Structure 1
Amino acid sequence: MGDTEFHRNSTFSFLVHDSVSFEWKIKSYNSIIMCNRQMKKIQSPLFSSKPDDKRKWYIEFVPKKIISGSTKELHIKLYRTDQDQIYVQACIFLKTATSERLLFDCDNECILYPGQWISFQENIGDVADELGWHENTPDILTIGVEIRTYFHSEVTHLTSIPKQVPLIDKQVPIIDLESRSLIADIATYFEDPTFKDVSFFIRNKEFTAHKNILASRSEVFATMFRVKMSEGLTSKVEVEDIEPVIFEKMLRFIYSDKVDDLKPAEASPLFFAAHKYDLEKLKNICIKSLYENLSIENVIQTLLLADLYSLGKLRESAMKFLVFHHSNLRNTYEFYSMVQSHPHFALELLQLQASSKL
């Protein structure tokens, strides 16, 4: 994605046809390893230099535990979706939230024939040492790639031709990080006490969880655990502003990425919990439930919540609902209390009522 460049060496000249840079951020890397019992490959999203480019690239590898002293190899492969013969130079790098980029071989120039990949490998022990990966390292691994492809009529004269290999290793199934199978694997750990390392105490009820999973889903949890570790505190957390049933639903969402059987009365307190722990998708689920279940019984509470958290569309819908059912609500204690604490609502209601009569 840049200006065209012209290059020469002793045997041929060529033009830069295209260039691509991409970073794949893998959150909760250690949790993925823990859940990936069958040693499945994981695959990055497709990427390219331009949205309409027919040539897409993706990264694929089997996650392995990064630990100093390991003698195992980390293999990372770079694939493309088209079947053209191209001349390519590629570079892979790794980094964490606290480390500099660790570059793999950047002189990997070759002709890439249909059905071929580019492979990078590095000793895991060396990777751990270079990245400074240790127990307290933020559990996020980023794999980056920089690719240049070239064209020239004399490209077939090159001699650095890679070994021909099949595009897919059929003995190892491929999954995507967002696949339902991986989410289902993680969801099973909610009921499994193995490796749980943090306890939450709410109204004399205890909930246990995995720090890595919580931290990967919520930056609030990640910050909380980092602070507690730095202060030498125990892995026990008191929660005073969320009811146990709501906290349990939030935990289940963190593990499963879904909410089962959300009752209308639970949507508001669950939204508060989602807001507290910065769970954007869960907030949207709650907002959708509140919007779809507006009623005379909950409209005032919904309006107050929408006003407090600046939820414009939900606030507008609640106000319109309130105007339409004003005769049923104006003599209730909830309506009187709302007007006393939020007098601007009274003016808005009058304006909406007047405009509806025009």
Structure 2
Amino acid sequence: MTTGDCTTFSAIIAEAMSGSHVIKIAGYSRMKALVSNGESLTSIPFSAAGHTWVVRFYPNGDSAESQDYLSFYLILDSANSYDVKAVFSLELLEHSKNGRPAAPASYSFTTDLRTFSYKGSLWGYNKFIHQTALEEEPSPHLRDDSFSIRCGIKVFKEIYSTETQGGDRKRFMEVPPSNLRQNLGSLLENMDDGSADVVFEVGEERFSAHRCVLAARSSVFRAELLGAMKENAHRQIQIDDIEPSVFRSLLRFIYTDSLDGMAREEEEAGEEEDLVMAQHLLVAADRYNVERLKLMCEERLCESMGSAMVATSLALAEQHGCHGLKEACLEFLASPSNLLEMMASDGYEHLRISCPSVLRELIARFQTLDMKATREITLGLS
């Protein structure tokens, strides 16, 4: 009598966790002028790959040997972490034509495996990039006196052995990803099926929609469409003070929770048109209390901060309670050159008239940066 072979399986596993963080250095020329060789600036703590980290930046190098270079170091900031084994990369990002950091980066360094023994342990590069290489004109990295660094981190956990099932698990079916966005987007695109129960007149255009979808996504639409207007199911609603293209993008976001359609239009339009659309869409999102869209527009304006648009963005931030955008604008204006260029822009007069309080706040915060510029702002407010 014979018995069949009995085979068991096991595996030796080296797990790893990965994460990344992008740091924007805004006001580089001011930092270079004010921070001496050997002195540093430190980022806020950020979480990546299961631990907390900070990045330390030396605008004029960390030693006499590196005084003409930028130095960067990654520091473990977790209080109870010991002997963290990690590989990390530092990438100097290029800016694409629409102002967003481009990927992949063309200037980067990746370390071998390093051990961060305890909180405060650091590894990095004392000669990350020469100052003249960063500042060359035209610079693919430095834009509006700002540049961005991406820090990528992979942490290796303990290697362990475990018993496993024999071979790969047999799959009897494949569960597809959710297509809810596509389904609702299709509902928006095919209004001729008779399901729409409200029509909006915006300028010379008409937009059909579904009350229940709008009400689920916007508390303002819910009050308007399911409150006093509920009994008039087919009423046409006039929308003023919004461009048709902006309302179209607002509807698309409400149905699909994305701006994919708008992104395709942005590729065909210039950067300035893209940012103007983001500003208008932010106003619409605030009007209808679509909070995620409002934050996405804020983020877009923060990513592409420039002297030509910062005055109008700052006015919008003040008028619509966009605290993150306001802080980004004020940080951008910490550079004396950016401040002077903003004062020469088309939007400055509107900012001066509509939001004098935010200009007073700007003066109080940065009056030591450029006395000529702040004096001119003060005279304009008097």
TM-score, length basis structure 2: 0.44
TM-score, length basis structure 1: 0.47
